[in-house]
Amino acid sequence: MSAGVPFHLGRGETGPVQQSSVTCGSASLTVSRMLVSPEFGQWIVDGIDPKGGPTDPRSEAQRFAEHEGEVMNRTNGIRAAGGKLNVPWPRALGTPPWGAEKELEFGAARPGAAYAMRLVRLGSSDALRDVHRDLVRLVREDLPALLYIGNAWAPRHVTRVLPGDGGGGAGGSGGGGLDVYDPATGSVTELDLERFASRTLGIAGWNVPWITVQPR
């Protein structure tokens, strides 16, 4: 990696993998924070204390798992990121989108970012194409989105949406399509428009887009 950029994630690269069966959302949010904050990314990757303290001797996976747990405590607890009141949610059911929204607004996206949840499960194919186009327009490296996916009956997995193939940098104009980080494998692949619209995503065994948590 280039100097000053301890962590980068793009199509064809592999990022961290979720450290438990219920922390796909926490992993996606931790990766978001790593990309927004070079100091935090360096701590996860290399254990280097941004305040100049001793280097953390644990493995990258151990540090990542620790922060996953901290994120889930916030997203699922009564006090979310930023100290905001939150509707608690059972940890066994994963990350609630309202808790994820607050996490993105307070540290996992650019400062001052505003997010909103959007239910997309019931839309037509044309409506899903509009959702995808909106994400292309809105998503940047420092303004990610989360995509909840599942089967026909329920959302089961959380992924992170990135600007496509390295496009849409901070302050950029977008238009480069979309990529998606799958915390189950750490892989980054294209979030194809037609597969999105036809509900054939094939990500971690799930096909159906359910909910986005996207920039406003």
**Mean pLDDT of the 66-86 span:** 97
Band (165; pLDDT cuts 50, 70, 90): confident
- Looking at residue 39, what is its pLDDT? 94
CATH of domain 24-215: 3.90.70
Among 165, 184, 187, which residue's Cα sits nearest to residue 174?
Answer: 165
Whole-angstrom distance, CA of residue 210 vs CA of residue 184? 18
Q: Where are the domains of the chain?
A: 24-215
Q: Mean pLDDT lowest for which of 83-92, 120-129, 157-166, 177-186?
A: 157-166
- Looking at residue 22, what is its pLDDT? 97
If you compute the radius of gyration of the chain from its CA atoms, what whole number of angstroms results? 16
- Looking at residue 171, what is its pLDDT? 43
Exposure of 171 in the CB half-sphere (CA atoms within 13 A): 0
Q: 40: how many CB neighbours lie within 10 A of its CB?
A: 19
Residue 182 phi, psi (nearest 5)? -105, 110
Q: What would the pLDDT profile of 98-142 be if each residue is shown by its tens digit? A: 999 999 999 999 999 999 999 999 999 999 999 999 999 999 999
